[in-house]
Structure 1
């Protein structure tokens, strides 16, 4: 009888322990984002009820996460729409007014040169300042509304950003885009541009680089954006990422992409974002 009781205890204990191990494994998989409810132990005992409660909790958390992501995306899209509106207003309203004022100033300068040559230097200064104001307004409008509705808007915006950085004279910035890249979603294009913009700004501020490369390439069904520099590299002693890096990761997450930050073959830092984005039809 004692032997039979021990055998029965061993069978029950082994089965209970095995089901607990399955539950623990399922919890670990959920922690990595791979919850499979089919592998959860069932039954009317404590293990089964615990598995049922955990599954219900995981479903609630997943629903909350999806809703939070939707709200965050909506807030970011509203912010981006406002930036685009201001950018368009700068270009269409202020830009046109400054252009008209510049044309008027040029006409007045010609008259001043003929009738009051002594004031010509002041007139030339005014026209020069107006030209600089027009260029600054254009630069601001492009920065606020960089990506157009066209499928190749991202490629054009990155090309303009590289040219603008190079014109500043601080570093050489190039766009490496072997083949034309078309993006089917304006939202994806805007987030990728903002990621590139933040990465380039970080390189300008912190890397002491002499060259920055912006890479854009379609790899199968994936769109790959890279920004790398030949600067001093990342500070390994920094314990936490700054706000800019966190925002880049957040933008990548919003468009279903992944962001990797590491060492560049050129000796500096490379930021790489990969997102599923097939060629639009």
Structure 2
């Protein structure tokens, strides 16, 4: 009967609406939790690590004034350096879990900042090409994190191994495909050989985890080029 069909449709529609509203509520709650964790890490642990750095530097200066031995100075210097590295690593974690940073523009800014800071310290010239867009794209947190860590590992490998004088980074979105290309003019390496260390293995693993395609082109004494291609299954545009 018509009233039975109508009732069934209304009940089914109500169930769909309930499930949708519950899912939205859970997503909003997850964002609130991520924001709270990011804030707590930054305010509490970050502040304590900064205090350790400052106190280590003060203790190192006082130790140098009061004694002639270098053992304590070296130990305090190591404590300060480890604390700085921990602050940097925690900054990456805070950025990765902060839902306010789930965007293409946020990812681009973070990559540019890291590249400029670490390369300029070593007098390596940098060209960073990323198009200016009028609308932003909301990125999945896991994709954003993996792309950034692939980028960071590639740049760190340049610092540690390449002896490069110049680096070029191109980051673009073409037909819902993220394309990241990192090139250097360093000494390169022979891809047929096996090397110690987990740098390249980590890059390949993260590319697989986020469903990307990774290309590594390198020749001894001819530089290295790494290209990551990642199709975005769904892209939500956010007009600024």
Bucket of the pairwise TM-score, normalised by the shorter protein:
0.5 to 0.7
Give the 3 Å change call, closer, same or farther, for CA 258–164 of structure 1 in structure 2: same
Q: Which residue of 2 aligns with 1:142?
A: 91
User: CA RMSD of the aligned region, Å?
Assistant: 4.1
3-state DSSP class of the match of 1:182? strand
Give the 3 Å change call, closer, same or farther, for CA 236–258 of structure 1 in structure 2: closer
CA deviations on 1:168-215 (whole Å, 9 max, x unpaired) are 235234432123463521111110111111111111111110122222
For the pair 1:160 / 2:113, whether they are aligned, the reply is: yes
Give the 3 Å change call, closer, same or farther, for CA 134–240 of structure 1 in structure 2: closer
3-state DSSP class of the match of 2:110? helix
For the pair 1:230 / 2:185, whether they are aligned, the reply is: yes
Q: Which has the larger radius of gyration?
A: 1
> How far apart, CA to CA, are the structure 2 residues paired with 1:251 and 1:136?
22
Give the 3 Å change call, closer, same or farther, for CA 236–134 of structure 1 in structure 2: closer
> How far apart, CA to CA, are the structure 2 residues paired with 1:140 and 1:239?
28
Residues 186-197 of structure 1: matches in 2 within 5 Å? 186-197=141-152
CA deviations on 1:154-176 (whole Å, 9 max, x unpaired) are 11210221122134235234432
Give the 3 Å change call, closer, same or farther, for CA 251–92 of structure 1 in structure 2: same
Contact map agreement 1:263 1:269 (CA 8 A) in 2: yes
For the pair 1:280 / 2:240, whether they are aligned, the reply is: no
Contact map agreement 2:216 2:224 (CA 8 A) in 1: yes
> How far apart, CA to CA, are the structure 2 residues paired with 1:102 and 1:164?
19
Q: In the alignment, which of 89, 98, 122 is matched to residue 169 of structure 1?
A: 122
Q: Which residue of 2 aligns with 1:95?
A: 46
Contact map agreement 2:179 2:229 (CA 8 A) in 1: yes
Give the deviation of 1:140 after TM superposition.
3.5
Higher relative contact order (CA 8 A, sep 6+): 2
> How far apart, CA to CA, are the structure 1 residues paired with 2:155 and 2:93?
16
CA deviations on 1:68-92 (whole Å, 9 max, x unpaired) are xxxxxxxxxxxxxxxxx6x866532
Where does the alignment leave 5 or more consecutive residues of structure 1 unmatched?
A: 1-84, 104-118, 123-128
Contact map agreement 2:115 2:155 (CA 8 A) in 1: no
3-state DSSP class of the match of 1:194? helix
Give the 3 Å change call, closer, same or farther, for CA 267–186 of structure 1 in structure 2: same
Give the 3 Å change call, closer, same or farther, for CA 170–183 of structure 1 in structure 2: farther
Give the deviation of 1:249 after TM superposition.
1.6
> How far apart, CA to CA, are the structure 1 residues paired with 2:53 and 2:158?
36
Q: Which residue of 2 aligns with 1:216?
A: 171
TM-score, length of structure 1 as denominator length: 0.50
Give the 3 Å change call, closer, same or farther, for CA 134–90 of structure 1 in structure 2: farther
Give the deviation of 1:94 after TM superposition.
3.8
